[in-house]
Structure 1
Amino acid sequence: MGGSEASRIRKRLRFLLVNAFSLSERAAYRPRPRSGPKEEQLYNYAEVAPVLEDVDWELHPGAPATHGDWPVELREEFAITGVNRLPIVREACASGRYDAVVLLGGGDPGFWEAREIGHRHGVPVTACAHAQMHIAGMLGARFSVIDISEVHNMRMADLVRLYGMTERCASIRNLDHPLPRPAAAGRNTLLGEQEKAARGEASSMLEAAVAESVAAIEEDGAEVLILGCSAAYWLQGPLQRRLAALGWDVPVLEGYRCAIEMAKTLVNLRLDVSGLAFPHDPPKRFRRRKRV
């Protein structure tokens, strides 16, 4: 084996992970710290750490939120957030520092457009819902999305259609535990539910996830389960264990690990996206007709 080939094999991958947005220090609820060690700014780092062991990674905190000083749930907020982080993707891809960019956040804001940017530089871009759905398709015929709230459910439904997964998606199940935000005032949010479960206390969110997952399996025909919101990714471990205790041999996926592993696969295959799906401007060749 030649020296250059051996060097290529030994090379550690370089990834940039990009949070969907960052809230101000004044925000009434911030789902993660804005500063400090990158490990503290990454949701559920202890669970994600094993898939990052062979990666040199950096974490971007996300563009400052302009939709409001609260977490994202509405389509309008996803659209604003997606536009805000495209300059981050553009700068990262143009820098030549990264082998891949991983977009964090369950609703994949800006992902489709970020892939177009990535292709201009030959840099794969992955995202959480997209990666989960495709990996779910490798594991079973149909999947269900276990998600947090009515309005967030509609974002996930949009992504199912955008990603061509309507035949694969058995259902989207609503836990009715929205993110803490002005519209959720007085409602039972997901705030504190992870901590309750970690202490061994009863978590209404986990109990709802178990009930809706069983219904997805028994009533909807789901063979794989995915989690819709990154603030619900903590459910993966406890939900997997609870379902196994009930006798259900069903995979439960979460987005961070799926998106990171998909990025590794694309880098190792030396692929990003099809230039026909995401053409350069201008393209070297063009098709007179496209079919949809």
Structure 2
Amino acid sequence: MSQSNARYRFLMIHAFSLSDEARHHLRPQHGSKETVLMNHAELAPLLSDVDWDLHPGARATHGDWPVERQEEFAMVGTNRLPIVKEACESGRYNAIVLLGGGDPGFFAAREIGRRYGIPVTTCAHAQMHLAGMLGHKFSIVDISEVHNMQMYHLVRQYGFTDRCASIRNIDYPLPRPPYTHPHTLHGEHAKAERGETSGMLEAAVEEAVAAIEEDGAEVIILGCSGAFWLQRPLQERLVAMGWEVPVFEGYRCAIAMAKSMVDLGVNYSGLMVPSDPPPRSRRRKIF
């Protein structure tokens, strides 16, 4: 991106990148930014007035596969902090959008961004806040037992334990070692696009309906970026069944939140994310 006078100048950063030799990729590794950005067709209307760049993410150091474990989230989160800092120092952007379910590195990236006056947004954080506006309770439809726990921890960290009705597991994990699971999410999007039955979509519909009928959810959010393609067909299926329930995915929510923060000219509170050193200090923090 050259220097631009556009109202929105965003850098979007993938959580990590894999080698060309990796056994499974969730997105294309090469090509235009539109090609490499998952679900670009769904995002294009929201990006139509944005000058945006896309960073592929730091090369994964946890292994050559997608992330699900806590250890892996911690590693990829740390790896993308230098990218955030370099982007903030460049002066080219007025917001940073961290892509990927599980929000790796968000708290530290938010702190970096605030030092430079640049808001940083991310997927689960944005989804939960928007869901909290549109319903009393939300449920997370997520991909696997292991990934569920990352979302569980985020619900607690973000302060939504009283607003999250449940985390519903569809059991379509990411393709990763030891590769013994009978099915993964790999190829499920392509099946749905071809008009074939996708077991992943059917499981998402089943669990979303159960979250509504049994758990009291009034909004559905999707936990993993590899499942974000479910938003449109899941929304359509629920509406066809008579459930007027919003379904959110993370990329659009994070982009929309970044736009709102730029429009309002706001960043995170200096009491939640203190300057270093802070101009004033509190004697006590209470809960």
TM-score, reference length from structure 1? 0.95
For 1:279, the equivalent position in structure 2 comes to 274
Q: Distance between the aligned counterparts of 2:249 and 2:220, measured in 1?
A: 9
Q: Distance in 2 between matches of 1:12 and 1:99?
A: 9
Q: Which runs of 5+ in 2 are unaligned?
A: none
**Contact residue 123 and residue 253 of structure 2 kept, 8 A:** yes
Counterpart selection for 2:255 from 218, 240, 260: 260
1:160 — aligned with what? 155
For residue 31 of structure 1, report the CA deviation from its aligned partner. 1.2
1:185 to partner: Cα distance: 2.5
CA–CA distance in structure 2, aligned partners of residues 193 and 30 of structure 1: 13
Aligned residue runs from structure 1 range 169-180, under 5 A? 169-180=164-175
Offset of residue 199 of structure 1: 1.0
Aligned to 1:197: 192
> In the alignment, residue 105 of structure 2 is paired with which amino acid?
G
Q: CA deviation at 1:245?
A: 1.1
Q: Match of 1:241, as an amino acid? A: E
How many angstroms does 1:147 deviate by?
Answer: 0.2
State the match for 1:99 in structure 2.
94
Which residue number in structure 1 is paired with residue 116 of structure 2? 121
Distance 1:160 1:64 in 2: 28
Distance 2:21 2:179 in 1: 18
Q: Distance in 2 between matches of 1:40 and 1:99?
A: 23
Contact 1:178–1:184 (CA under 8 A) maintained in structure 2: no
Alignment gaps of 5+ in structure 1: 1-7
Maintained 8 Å contact 1:156/1:228: yes
Contact 2:99 2:251 in 1 (8 A): yes
Taking the aligned partners of 1:129 and 1:104, their CA distance within structure 2 comes to 10
Matched, 1:89 2:84: yes
* Alignment partner, residue 139 of structure 1: 134
Q: How far apart, in 1, do the equivalents of 2:188 and 2:28 lie?
A: 18
1:200 CA drift (Å): 1.0
C-alpha distance in structure 1 between counterparts of 2:230 and 2:25, whole Å: 19
Q: Deviations over 1:223-272 (max 9, x none)?
A: 00000000000000000111111111100001100000000000111111
**Is 1:236 the equivalent of 2:231?**
yes
Percent identity, aligned pairs only, is 68
Decide whether the 8 Å contact of 2:204 with 2:234 is kept in 1: yes
How many Å separate the matches in 2 of 1:27 and 1:14?
A: 32
Distance in 1 (alpha carbons) for counterparts of 2:174 and 2:181: 12
Letter in 1 for 2:80: R
CA distance, structure 2, for counterparts of residue 194 and residue 11 of structure 1: 34
Q: Return the alpha-carbon distance in structure 1 between the equivalents of residues 68 and 181 of structure 2.
A: 17
**What CA distance in whole angstroms lies between the structure 2 residues aligned with 1:33 and 1:240?**
26
Moved over 6 A (4+): none
Superimposed CA distance per residue, residues 6-41 of structure 1 (whole angstroms, 9 cap, x where no aligned partner): xx9x84310000000000111111111222100111
2:40 to 42, 45, 55: 45
In structure 2, give the amino acid aligned to 1:266: M
1:290 aligned onto 2:281: no
- Residue 243 (structure 2) pairs with residue 248 (structure 1): yes
TM-superposed CA distance for 1:177, in Å, is 0.2
CA distance in 2, matches of 1:100, 1:31: 25
In the TM superposition, residue 51 of structure 1 has moved relative to its aligned partner by 0.3
Q: Which amino acid is the alignment partner of residue 153 of structure 1?
A: N
- Displacement of 1:49 in angstroms is 0.5
Secondary structure of 1:183 counterpart? coil
Counterpart-to-counterpart distance in 1, 2:6 and 2:72:
39
Cα distance in structure 1, aligned partners of 2:20 and 2:163: 41
Between 23-32 and 67-76, the greater mean CA deviation after superposition = 23-32
How many angstroms apart in 2 are the aligned matches of 1:240 and 1:70? 29
Give me the whole-angstrom Cα distance separating, in 2, the residues matched to 1:47 and 1:178: 23
What's 2:204 paired with? 209
Say which SS state the counterpart of residue 165 (structure 2) adopts.
strand
Deviation for aligned residue 1:131 = 0.3
Instruction: Give SS of 1:14's match.
Output: strand
Q: Which amino acid aligns with 1:62?
A: G
Q: Distance in 2 between matches of 1:164 and 1:66?
A: 30
